[in-house]
Amino acid sequence: MDRLDNTIRPYAWGSTTAIPQLLGVEPTGEPQAEMWMGAHPGAPSRTARGPLNEVIGEDPEQELGRGAVAKFGPRLPFLLKVLAAGAPLSLQVHPNLEQAKEGYEDEERRGVPIDAPHRNYKDANHKPELICALTEFDGLCGFRTPDEAAELLAGLDVDSLKPYVDLLHAHPEDAALREVLTAVLSADPEDMARTVTEATAACARLGGAYAPYADLAHHFPGDPGVIAAMLLNYVQLQPGEALFLGAGVPHAYLNGLGVEIMANSDNVLRCGLTPKHVDVPELLRVVRFEAGDPGVLRPEASPDGEEVYATPIDEFRLSRFVLAEGAAPRDLTRATPQILLCTAGSVRADGITLAPGQSVFVPAGEKAEASGNGTIFRATVVA
């Protein structure tokens, strides 16, 4: 078992206080957006044996287990994070595995530099992800029904939005959403900026259900993503609740602290709320225009006390244990690799004491027990 020393990413949207508060340290005054735990080559966790990606690379079957290597290759297939949003992230969507492979191969064939700002596919992998709230957590996830979106837009009483309201009423569900998102993202930038400015004033005046969009516009004035965001479900997670973001589901995190886990990929197609490149045709190829409930997840408890967040993919499996002092240690031994993360209290994992924000890597098959008084998340794979 290896104690992990993890990198904190200082992205501009990060909270200046949430991760320091979790770790029990003084804020630096700079944004601290994500703490990465895993073997991603961009910022691998450090161990006493060396960077985790190098440790795994030296003996993949020993560290990951034969089953995981056979299924996912000689690498840890997930990245675990603590994510602290102090401002909205970009409105975005991720490709499925086939789309990622096609897009990556196409850009490689055309010689698009991997670091080019207009490059869409950094790798050939998909990027399903799960976010579990540690505090109240606000986000956008999946499309509202066209009728709900039309009602929200109509309530602003902005003349330039009325054609979108008509489109939402006039077409079948998937066609309506596609046409309106296409129109919003393809509109003349100056005209759309005026529309967003007028809509922002209305949102600020009306408050209530419109307040989140006034806040979006405060961070991204004139951005068409403000209007696009109104097509999506607004979600407020309570601590312990989660969202699974599958391929093609537009989403954005707005505010709060959570544990995030994802398949190892950097593929993001942006829809707005960003100064970065937005490739509208490719975005429309990837987005799933399906309306419905965002599907808030609550953990499913098993007899041994493990609370599992069920998802339909195998690259990661996230669960948690709420431990009580004096209770028998929980046997966490698995034939797959694990990262254990403490988020509350004090937890002992085979002689290593973990405070909130601290984590360990457990190689496949290595005996692992947890005890103490606190909460520990377990990230592993299905192999």
Candidates 75, 144, 270, 330; catalytic one? 270
Q: Would you list the DSSP string of 178-233?
A: HHHHHHHHHS-HHHHHHHHHHHHHHHHHH-GGGHHHHHHHHHSTT-THHHHHTTEE
Catalytic residue flag (residue 270): yes
Distance of CA 279 to the CA centre of its chain: 20
Cα radius of gyration rounded to whole Å, the chain: 22
Nearby residues of 369 by Cβ (< 8 Å), 6 or more positions away: 329, 330, 331, 332, 333, 349, 350
> CA 196 to CA 214: how far, in whole Å?
10
Contact between 4 and 46 under an 8 Å Cβ cutoff? The reply is: yes
CB 51 within 8 A of CB 45: yes
Nearest by Cα to 294 from 83, 72, 124, 138: 138
**DSSP secondary structure code for residue 54 in this structure:** H
Please tell me whether residue 219 adopts helix, strand or coil conformation: helix
Distance CA 32, CA 13 (A): 8
Of residues 337, 342, 345, the one with CA closest to residue 368: 337
Q: Cβ distance 283 to 185 under 8 Å?
A: yes
Residues 6+ away with beta carbon under 8 Å from 317 = 308, 311, 379, 380, 381, 382
* 382 in Cβ contact with 345 (< 8 Å): no
The token duo for 343 is 């988020």
For residue 238, give the DSSP letter.
P
Structure tokens, 372: 């103490």
Structural contact between residues 371 and 348, judged by C-beta atoms closer than 8 angstroms: yes
Name which of 269, 268, 275 is nearest 220 in CA terms: 275
Say if CB 40 and CB 264 are below 8 A apart.
yes
**Catalytic site residues?**
270
